[in-house]
Structure 1
Amino acid sequence: MDVIRSAQKIGAELRCARSRAGLTQAQVGHTVGYSASAVSRIEAGHMKLSYDRLCDFAEALGVPLDQLAGTSGRGLPPVDTVGRPADQEDVVRRRNLLTGVLAAGASAALGAPTANAVPATGDPAAPLEDYLFRLPPAAPVPLARLMQKTASAQADFRAARYSALGRALPSLLASASATCQESTGRDRERASIILARSYVLAAELGLKTHSDSAWAAADRALTAARLSGHPVPVGEASRVLAITMRRSGAGPSAVRFLTREAADLDIGQEQTGAVRTTLLLTAAYSAATGHDRTAALDLLSAAHEETGRREAAPSGLFTVDATRTQVDVYRIGVFNALGVPDEGVDVARRLNINSMQTPERRARAWTDVARMWHALRDGQRTFTALRHVEQEAPQEARRPALRALTSDLLYAPVRVPGVREFAARTGAIPA
């Protein structure tokens, strides 16, 4: 526990120093030889640094070493196997992905890890990362029972109970994989849909926690969805895979992929039309992150028109809404990504977040509002939005991205009462 607390403290100090310097994780990572994803995990306390590597960070951020670590170099946690420069990290990721492909085909023959193998890091995705490439052995289960387990996991996601979801997913994925492998005909088709849905949840959890497991989970979701032959799970799996593409720097490819998948969907079917809307919204935000304003706004307009035909509430197949309110939430996010947050103010004022049907979606909407006010340098409104996030979904407020935003607010020039207590409560700074 002492090592974990030390890594978390160092990560928090690094995040605060970066925020004061006005640098992004990508900028710091480029200077010290890490990927932006690795910097995010270091700041979250999930990756450890040697003394020499911490010196590199101190030099890059222009601050004394003891200010970062609260130490003169003694007692620093040792180098972890995940604490590698970006090029080595990519090599390891590719090797792990290959291992995962082999493990998926032979999961029934592999031994089950013991319960003690789950690390007590506080990272909801940690169990998933341990088991994704080595699923515990499982026997096929009746489809009705498998649907119940999937619905329970879906309920955990919608309520933003990410720790519970992380614990449930390994068993769910193992059972769904075994059932799919042993089924035939119509039952295999149904089992493939359930397996795809389970991997979508795994990818969503990985994305929430900035875990590299998201890419592998999304890829497997799409493979299972295509085996089912049903366009709805294919569309939902395509959405989460595109998000992992965008986060890895392949935004334009993500936009092309999403628009092709959306074009292939039959808009005449209610649920298919809803999935098409979510694909267009994700494509719009992906285009905005690449500063393509025309494409982003055109895709938003297409999504808006789609919801004009019908508004689809979340069902068992969806992890997002397909409503006008959700379009407005994405509109705020698009304006934030384009660097024109002021254009989202009127949208935020008309936004009825309480009409959204799940705590996870309401918390995500308040997150986009918080980012808008933060970009506009309105600390009080930013903090108000962050408190709404915590009220809706406490675990959402502890996500790495939210902790970084809280840290930025904590060290802003204008002090906002209550932020320090909020930061300690949500893990942005050591409690």
Structure 2
Amino acid sequence: MGQSTQDLGTVIRGARCSARLTQTQLGEKCGYSASAISRIEANKLRPGYATLLRMAEVLGIPLERLRGSAVPDGQRVVTVAAGCPSNEEDAVRRRNLLSGAIAAGATALVGTGTASAAARGVPAVGLEDALFRLPAAAPVPLAHLAARTTAARRAFRTARYDDLGRALPELLAAAEATRDASTGRARQQASAVLARAYVLTAELASKQHSDAAWVAADRALTAARSSGLPVPVGEASRVLAITMRRSGRWPSAVHLLTQEAAELDTAEERTAAVRTTLLLTAAYSAATGQDRTTSLALLDEAEKDAGRLPAVPGLFTVEATRAQVDVYRIGALNALGTPDEGVKIAAGLNIGHLPTPERRARAWTDTARMWHALGDGPQTFAALRRVEQEAPQEVRRPALRALTSDLLYGPARVQGLREFAVRTGALAA
């Protein structure tokens, strides 16, 4: 045998430190939680090929350094990728974790033709293919197009992501055809509808950690600017900033959001509400970059705005309310590494009063992450169960599967968690 191969965890930890990234920052870029990165570096969790490829790109090292790294003898390692067997001899831990959700990106709900996707009734074509090969479509009356977009929005807000994934390709094609065939004010209105269809596409792709979010968000902003209307521009800027943040470009995300927020006229309720949501997204983006001062300042500003606004139901995917501010504050405190500061906020938050299943599921997700960071397994599981009750498809997202698996293989044993992991796809049956 020649020179011994350095173990995988040591290679990743060394490269991460050289790149001056925290575990949270590396996890954000690769679709993992900070605790999952910690377990990878401790050789207790082994990522699959697709994630290794992403890590090599983020860390700026050759893929061969990761693929050639050994796992120390005797280590119990869970493998996260479909088709990549675990080193465990135990029958339970030999099963593939996450069913390839993180490695597969968008396949969990919008599908790429896998048998598991087909079994769930998910379309065979992924979002990436749909964006670059839209089906043929003829122009439709603007009122009909707006109604279809409203139905797609309803599918998103009720977390029926499979329905949304099936509807988007034809909706985008019809919106593109209608915009191209229109002139004057009709073209402006069609551009606004098209922008919102792309906003929904970007939202769905972001939930699945799919690079299709970049394309969709860029097209959304282009269409929104063509409409000349401030509300679609704000909504499109928000999804583009989310995509920037997920790729590690949080300063650019904060700059874009605050710049767009500053240009909105706060004298009109609707645009003032859009401004508030931009500030909230900017605050969370700053938190992911560990900029506590900026994050908390933006949250405080959004809270003041929300206090001056009546309930504004017309925003496309997020409402500007005090409850939304509290949800974002919990998420920001989690990202900043101070989840204990969110406990009192969570205790006073009535999640049931949030207006949509998608928003309620988001609130319970942030609550689950808070309890997980504090090491409270039962409370984490209770919050995950609430996510499932509000939005069954939400809990199958890659990020929540990763959180479930991290809890499953943690030190505490939580009654009912294993069955939940199987039911939600975090553990193969």
**1:221 is matched with which residue?**
220
- The AA in structure 1 aligned to 2:71 is E
Q: Which runs of 5+ in 2 are unaligned?
A: 1-31, 59-63, 89-95, 97-101, 105-110
Q: Deviations along 1:200-221, whole A, 9 cap, x unmatched?
A: 0000000011111001000000
What are the equivalent positions in structure 2 for 1:256-267 lying under 5 Å apart? 256-267=255-266
**Contact in 1 for aligned 2:40/2:47 (Cα 8 Å):** yes
> In 2, Cα distance between the equivalents of 1:31 and 1:170?
26
> In 1, Cα distance between the equivalents of 2:405 and 2:139?
46
Distance verdict in 2 for CA 1:55–1:222, change over 3 Å: closer
Q: Deviations along 1:198-255, whole A, 9 cap, x unmatched?
A: 0000000000111110010000000000000000000000000001001111101111
Q: Secondary structure at the match of 2:53?
A: coil
> In 1, Cα distance between the equivalents of 2:165 and 2:214?
16
Deviates more, 1:327-336 or 1:124-133: 124-133
Whether 1:134 and 2:133 are equivalent positions in the alignment is yes
**Contact in 2 for aligned 1:21/1:61 (Cα 8 Å):** no
Task: Give the TM-score of the pair, scaled to structure 2.
Answer: 0.78
Whether 1:344 and 2:342 are equivalent positions in the alignment is yes
Task: Give the total of aligned pairs.
Answer: 366
What are the equivalent positions in structure 2 for 1:10-409 lying under 5 Å apart? 19=36, 22-23=39-40, 34-36=53-55, 56=68, 59=71, 63=75, 69-70=85-86, 120-122=115-117, 126-315=125-314, 317-409=315-407
- The AA in structure 2 aligned to 1:188 is R
- The AA in structure 2 aligned to 1:368 is D
**Contact in 1 for aligned 2:358/2:391 (Cα 8 Å):** yes
Q: Secondary structure at the match of 2:375?
A: coil
> In 2, Cα distance between the equivalents of 1:198 and 1:310?
27
**1:89 is matched with which residue?**
none
Q: Which runs of 5+ in 1 are unaligned?
A: 1-14, 40-51, 77-81, 85-115
Distance verdict in 2 for CA 1:117–1:346, change over 3 Å: closer
**1:90 is matched with which residue?**
none
Distance verdict in 2 for CA 1:19–1:254, change over 3 Å: closer
Q: How far off its partner does 1:23 sit?
A: 3.4
> In 2, Cα distance between the equivalents of 1:236 and 1:19?
32
Distance verdict in 2 for CA 1:353–1:186, change over 3 Å: same
Q: Deviations along 1:122-158, whole A, 9 cap, x unmatched?
A: 2969532221111111000001110111111111101
**1:419 is matched with which residue?**
417
Q: How far off its partner does 1:357 sit?
A: 0.7
**Contact in 1 for aligned 2:287/2:336 (Cα 8 Å):** yes
**Contact in 2 for aligned 1:363/1:389 (Cα 8 Å):** yes
Distance verdict in 2 for CA 1:120–1:238, change over 3 Å: farther
**Contact in 1 for aligned 2:157/2:359 (Cα 8 Å):** yes
Higher relative contact order (CA 8 A, sep 6+): 2
Deviates more, 1:245-254 or 1:120-129: 120-129
Q: Which runs of 4+ in 1 moved over 3 A?
A: 18-21, 23-33, 36-39, 52-68, 116-121, 123-127, 311-314
Q: Deviations along 1:361-382, whole A, 9 cap, x unmatched?
A: 0000000000000000000000
> In 2, Cα distance between the equivalents of 1:282 and 1:271?
17
**Contact in 1 for aligned 2:250/2:286 (Cα 8 Å):** yes
> In 1, Cα distance between the equivalents of 2:278 and 2:334?
19
> In 1, Cα distance between the equivalents of 2:388 and 2:222?
35
Which structure has more helix as a fraction of its residues? 1
**2:408 is matched with which residue?**
410
Q: Deviations along 1:338-381, whole A, 9 cap, x unmatched?
A: 00000000000000101111000000000000000000000000
Q: Deviations along 1:264-283, whole A, 9 cap, x unmatched?
A: 00011111011101100000
Distance verdict in 2 for CA 1:278–1:415, change over 3 Å: same
> In 2, Cα distance between the equivalents of 1:147 and 1:62?
59
